[in-house]
């Protein structure tokens, strides 16, 4: 594809990433309304949980793993008219968090979680950052608009996707599989240089830099794709 056509395609992708976020803004008369920040609420889930699913709509998600045995959740709601209705459900060993909003200009919930280090995390939000810290279980993170940051991971697998925003992931143990993709944004993946990796990178507009050992037969696989943004894979 010619570079001019690629740039036009990327611009179209950017518009597609942003427009869905505006669709639920409500009527123009709400623009002058103030934003209410409800007091943060904290609760603990003592049931045995091996997977945590966070279904965000707008707002940041921050998950930290530790030696604790329970899941502690702090949630902060912001809204222009009516507070969002938050939900939490434990089915088997899976905890699912989410919320619903009536039509209004501002409605979001930000989450801060402290979890057992080995639980699997599946976190998604339409508009907001996702931060994952010192986790050892499989992780999946997705945001339509926002930065994904993962630090101190020993996770065997990680699947990270941002439509409009960068990805920065640092592993302290060699992962078996890492998939990172953005439509618009740079990708940085840092991994231990103690093993070699099977690496695949692709970007339409941007450069790819790999400074770790490569081996096409390695069981440690890293795949990184960015339509508009540079890709860097280096030692942690």
pLDDT for res 24 = 41
What are the residue boundaries of the structural domains of the chain, listed by start? 35-235
pTM for this predicted structure: 0.85
pLDDT tens digits, one per residue of 109-123: 999 999 999 999 999
Buried-exposed string 30-67: b where 16+ CB fall within 10 A, e elsewhere: eeeeeeeeeeeeeeebeeebebbbbbbbbbbbbbbbee
Fold of 35-235: Pectate Lyase C-like (2.160.20)
d(CA 137, CA 139): 6
Residue 217 vs residues 138, 175, 198, 236: alpha-carbon distances, Å: 22, 15, 7, 22
Closest C-alpha to 73, from 52, 94, 92:
52
pLDDT tens digits, one per residue of 46-63: 999 999 999 999 999 999
pLDDT tens digits, one per residue of 128-179: 999 999 999 999 999 999 999 999 999 999 999 999 999 999 999 999 999 9
Q: What are the backbone dihedrals phi and psi of residue 89, each rounded to the nearest 5 degrees, phi first? A: -145, 135
Query: Is 180 strand, coil or helix?
Result: strand
């Amino acid at each position: 594809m010619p570079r001019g056509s690629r740039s036009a395609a990327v611009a179209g992708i950017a518009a597609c990433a942003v427009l869905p976020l505006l669709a639920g803004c409500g009527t123009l008369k709400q623009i002058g309304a103030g934003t209410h920040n409800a007091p943060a609420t904290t609760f603990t889930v003592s049931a045995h949980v091996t997977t945590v699913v966070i279904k965000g709509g707008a707002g940041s998600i921050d998950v930290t793993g530790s030696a604790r045995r329970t899941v502690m959740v702090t949630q902060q709601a912001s809204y222009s008219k009516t507070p969002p209705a938050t939900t939490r459900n434990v089915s088997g060993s899976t905890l699912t968090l989410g919320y619903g909003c009536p039509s209004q200009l501002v409605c979001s919930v930000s989450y801060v979680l402290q979890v057992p280090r080995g639980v699997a995390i599946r976190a998604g939000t339409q508009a907001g950052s996702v931060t994952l810290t010192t986790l050892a279980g499989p992780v999946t993170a997705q945001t339509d608009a926002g930065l994904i940051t993962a630090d101190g991971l020993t996770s065997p697998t990680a699947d990270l996707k941002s439509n409009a925003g960068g990805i920065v992931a640092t592993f302290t143990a060699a992962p078996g599989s890492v998939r990172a993709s953005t439509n618009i944004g740079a990708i940085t993946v840092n991994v231990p240089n103690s093993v070699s990796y099977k690496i695949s990178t692709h970007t339409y507009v941007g450069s790819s830099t790999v400074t770790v050992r490569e081996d096409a037969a390695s069981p440690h696989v890293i795949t990184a794709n960015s339509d508009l943004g540079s890709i860097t894979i280096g030692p942690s």
